[in-house]
Amino acid sequence: MMWLSAHEPFADPRLAKGFRQPQQNGWTYVHLEGTPGEIGYQHGVMLAGEIKDGFEVQKLELMHDGKKDWNFYRNAAKTVLWPHIEEQYRAEMQGISDGVTARGVKLDLWDIVALNAAEEWSYYVKWYDAKHGIKGAKPASAAAPDHCSAFVATGSYTKDGKPVIAHNNWTGYLDGERWTIIFDVVPQNGHRFLMDGYPGLIHSADDFGVNDAGIAITETTISDFSGWDSNGVPEFVRARRAMQYATSIDEFAATMKDGNNGGYANDWLIADVKSGEVAHLELGLKNVTLERSKDGYFVGANFPKNPKLTAEETTYNPKDPSVSGNARHTRWDELMEEYKGKIDTGAAQKFLADHYDTFAKTTQPSERTLDGEIDKSPRGDGDWQPPFAPAGAVQNKVADAAMIQSLSFTAHAGHASGDDFHAAELLKAHPEFSWQKPYLHDMKAQPWTTFTAMKPGVKPAANQPTSGPGK
């Protein structure tokens, strides 16, 4: 087994079933197993350094973008979210806090709960400010306002007629370069699952995962969405529960809808390899739709699909072809038709590296391309605010039916196109982002690497670089 160091034996029986692999091509694989408290403690101990670093980044971003101090989020975690979190996930987050504390990192339970809700706070802050009559307090962000490009396809669209699913995570490079943990979780109850994630979180949060019931999930955020219900269940709890317990598309959808609080509103893409079926769950607060197909595809690029949801819950303009989500939607449809009958993991990797801008009719990375990058054009236009923000597609994941069945997926840290980001170059040209300097690092594109859930103590030969367009 891999512990914290080669010479450090287990000092606590809670650590007995957990282990960590050496970093591979930018990714860190951890195996967590046992009761909720044991899983949390293993997580906290084995990733203590990464959790401390990742926490400081999220705290910096939330305080900068949301214009609130950290106690605001801690208090909301305690008074707004905690009453709606079930016991098993309370115990797991307490375990994380206990684990990092054992390693000398001073983060208490409310820090960990607030960290887990990082993707939901902008929804809460908008609601809170409106409720309290705070004017002009809409959070500004230096990250990409749209998050993720994804597809799921099956039937006549894929090479073997079985599901293929893929996703890249769009966010600021500041936190995105840290979104590189592979979590292999064997819970006391529910299904074993493999997901990508951020250190300290009990859910994926950018959301890509497979479980041993043959379910694969991913999502893209609904742009320009407003909605919050403080009596609902936090999105991170529902997403984790769905990943852990769903055995079908219907069960996944029911879990996500049950107690929906409107936080982190997403278009979810789902595959069930048992039936060969794929689905699209658009989860607004007021409007929820579920579509499914055994011969078709669904794509996500941060555009709302249901006209009623678009009109009632967003300020999104679906008719403007220059908007990132619309341009990427068009590109997804083009690629699905061009590759109909040929979609496999290799094609999916190629899609995630795509730099064709359907609005400008050019091949150049920008906020309108599937592999979103800093807009490097002289015009500096588009809907990123401000231009040249250090943000874009920070990592990528792909799985086909055989991978899902074997609890496996292939992952690529950095831009799938192979482009590298150099922090010093950006900060010199754009000092307005100097607030990020202590934590903003270079982001190197890595090879595609396949990860498979493994037996404790066994270093798998399967976790090796694989070929792909990224390198």
CB 155 within 8 A of CB 296: yes
Instruction: Give the predicted TM-score (pTM) of the model.
Output: 0.92
According to DSSP, residue 418 is labeled -
Give me 221's structure tokens: 């955020």
Q: Give the span between the Cα atoms of 426 and 404, in whole angstroms.
A: 38
Average pLDDT of the residues of the chain: 90
Q: 468: Cβ–Cβ under 8 A, 6 or more apart, which residues?
A: 346, 349, 410, 412, 416, 447, 448
> Which amino acid type is present at position 432?
E
pLDDT-above-90 percentage for the chain: 84
According to DSSP, residue 77 is labeled I
The model's pLDDT over 384-427, given as tens digits with 9 standing for 90+, comes to 334 568 899 999 999 999 999 999 999 999 999 999 999 998 89
Q: In this model, does residue 461 exceed pLDDT 60?
A: no
Q: Give the span between the Cα atoms of 404 and 294, in whole angstroms.
A: 17
**Residue whose C-alpha is closest to residue 185's, from 30, 392, 74:** 30
DSSP for 379-417, written as a single string: T--SS-SSTT-SEEEEEEEEEEHHHHHTTEEEEEES-TT
CB 407 within 8 A of CB 183: no
Confidence band for 136, pLDDT divided at 50, 70 and 90: low
Q: Give the span between the Cα atoms of 353 and 19, in whole angstroms.
A: 32
Confidence band for 435, pLDDT divided at 50, 70 and 90: very high
Say how many CA atoms lie within 13 Å of 157 toward its Cβ: 28
β-sheet bridge partners, residue 194:
184, 210
Q: Give the span between the Cα atoms of 201 and 190, in whole angstroms.
A: 18
Residue ranges of domains in the chain, CATH in brackets: 13-131 (1.10.439), 149-177+212-456 (3.60.60.20)
Mean per-residue pLDDT for 279-303?
98
Q: How far is CA 304 from its chain centroid?
A: 18
Would you state the pLDDT for residue 456?
A: 54
**286-313 burial, b if ≥16 CB within 10 A, otherwise e?**
ebbebebbeebbbbbbbbbbbeebbeeb
The model's pLDDT over 168-227, given as tens digits with 9 standing for 90+, comes to 999 999 999 999 999 999 999 999 999 999 999 999 999 999 999 999 999 999 999 999
Which SS3 state, helix, strand or coil, does residue 93 take? helix
CB 401 within 8 A of CB 161: no
Q: Give the span between the Cα atoms of 28 and 47, in whole angstroms.
A: 9
Confidence band for 65, pLDDT divided at 50, 70 and 90: confident
- Write out the E strands in 11-72: 19-20, 28-34
Strands 164-172 and 149-154, by their bridges, are antiparallel
Would you state the pLDDT for residue 67?
A: 82
Q: In this model, does residue 467 exceed pLDDT 50?
A: no
Q: Give φ, ψ of 440 to 5 degrees.
A: -80, 120
Which SS3 state, helix, strand or coil, does residue 126 take? helix
> Which amino acid type is present at position 131?
K
**Residue whose C-alpha is closest to residue 131's, from 65, 60, 76:** 76
Q: What is the CA radius of gyration of the chain?
A: 21
Q: In this model, does residue 92 exceed pLDDT 80?
A: yes
The model's pLDDT over 326-337, given as tens digits with 9 standing for 90+, comes to 999 999 999 999
Give me 400's structure tokens: 């086909």
**Residue whose C-alpha is closest to residue 228's, from 191, 273, 256, 265:** 265
CB 196 within 8 A of CB 167: no
Which SS3 state, helix, strand or coil, does residue 356 take? strand
